[in-house]
A and B are shown apart, each in its own frame.
Chain A
Amino acid sequence: MSDWKDTAVALDHVSKAFGKKQVLQDITLSVSRQEALCIVGRSGTGKSVTLKLIIALIKPEAGRIWVDGEDITDLEGQELSRVRQKMGFLFQNAALFDFLNLHDNLALPLRRLTHKSEQDIEEIIDRVLGQVGLSGDRQKMPVELSGGMRKRAGLARALVLEPQILLVDEPSSGLDRITASEIDDLLVEQKRHTTMIIVTHDVHGGRRVGDRFAVLDQGRLAALGKPQDLEHHENATVRKLVVED
């Protein structure tokens, strides 16, 4: 479809199975540039799988995936690497490299993928760590960081290449309300320059950051729209997932 070319991310009739288990079925959705889409749903409905499909860590069984107007479904090697550089990914458990300190976690992609001087790399790391409030922790190993610090460090690493699209997997899981709110603040701040797709169980945080909600139910897209519109959706599961306690 030609209209996918004008979107930041689009999934066109995407299905994904692991063995006999069908995780996603015929998902079609699109995300505009500078939009923040929250994906909500019960556990095991394929939310994280959707993010991994978008960044091509896994391939769909059926359907096409478009990123920044480009069909990435069959891309491999250098072509895929070029498209991935447009995206940042904050993993659920941050997935910091445990053999590198925080500074080197951020420096790794800059050293591998850019031709920036060490001085420029230091400046970028200083700026990004400052944004997430970890300037004083650059020499710490991941194991020395608390849950909230790990999330912020993961966000810093996802932002270090200045991605156009930020994929965020459960930014508030395992965090207390205050820390989760701080992470949400960082995402709201980032929303001004970046397209975001956020998988979350935190409706309050999701409504703060997200422009629209996509509700997945049993691997299917049950609803897509603004949260205030979905509050009156005919599907009870959708209503429960978008209404704040």
Chain B
Amino acid sequence: MTLHTRNELIQFGAGAWIPEVQSLSFFVEIGPLVAALLVAGRVGAGMGASLAEMRATEQIDAIEALSVDSFKLLVVPRVVACFLALPLLTTFMDFCGVISGFLSEHFLSHISFQLYMARAFRDMEWSNFIPPTLKTAIFGFIIGAVSCFCGYTTNEGAEGVRRAATNSVVMSSLLVIATDVILVKMIFFMFPESAI
């Protein structure tokens, strides 16, 4: 991000804006979306594959045969975990992005940590952080629900495991991107000051 934008910003005499542009773009959009897509790729595929494997090896049938509700045991905790974890991961991602931006800028322009941070958070509002971070809870719900659906409902043995893993990633990633568009519009409507 830093490497891509700094030349253009310097060209227009806006070198001092580099930290702010980076932090705002990370907190508002890049952090939430990249965190969600990474979780969809890593966790979504894992959940889809593990549930499909449990279906293929009759473990889900065994849970049902024991009179235990397999949906409550296997699906609900995974969806809740994604719902709760994604805002935390996004916050971590945001700060990693800002620190990485500082390191990149420090090596190129020798800017101090204090000055970089002061500029990065100069015009930052809570509305630039809280709504975009909270929207990732919905991304988490989508990733958890879609991945669990793909894994839980498969019924095709080893082929089903492969397909569930692929479908989990593709479907949850596409749904996250589509939902992001809607949520950004809603955030602009509810918090007009958060529009950059």
Contacts and interface: CB of A to CB of B under 8 A. Distances in A.
Interface in B18-61: 54, 57-59, 61
B65 A57 contact: yes
Interface string B141-178: 00000000000000000000000000000000000000
Name the residue among B54, B59, B67 with the largest chain A CB count within 10 angstroms: B67
B68 A91 contact: no
A18 B26 CA distance: 51
Interface of B: 54, 57-59, 61-69, 73
Interface stretch (A93-101, A171-179, A181-189, A222-230): A93-101
Contacts of B62: 89, 91, 95-97, 157
A91 B59 CA distance: 9
Name the residue among B57, B58, B62, B64 with the largest chain A CB count within 10 angstroms: B62
Contact of A84 (B57, B59, B66): B66
Contacts of A87: 65
A245 to B, nearest CB: 30
A81 B58 contact: no
Nearest to B62: A95
Interface string A41-61: 000000000001001010000
Contacts of B58: 91-93, 95
A92 B56 CA distance: 13
B57 A112 contact: no
A18 B59 CA distance: 21
A115 to B, nearest CB: 14
Contacts of B68: 108-109, 112-113
Given A93-B58, A97-B54, A98-B57, 5 more contacts: A57-B61, A84-B65, A95-B62, A109-B67, A157-B62
Contacts of A161: 66
A151 B130 CA distance: 52
Contacts of A92: 58
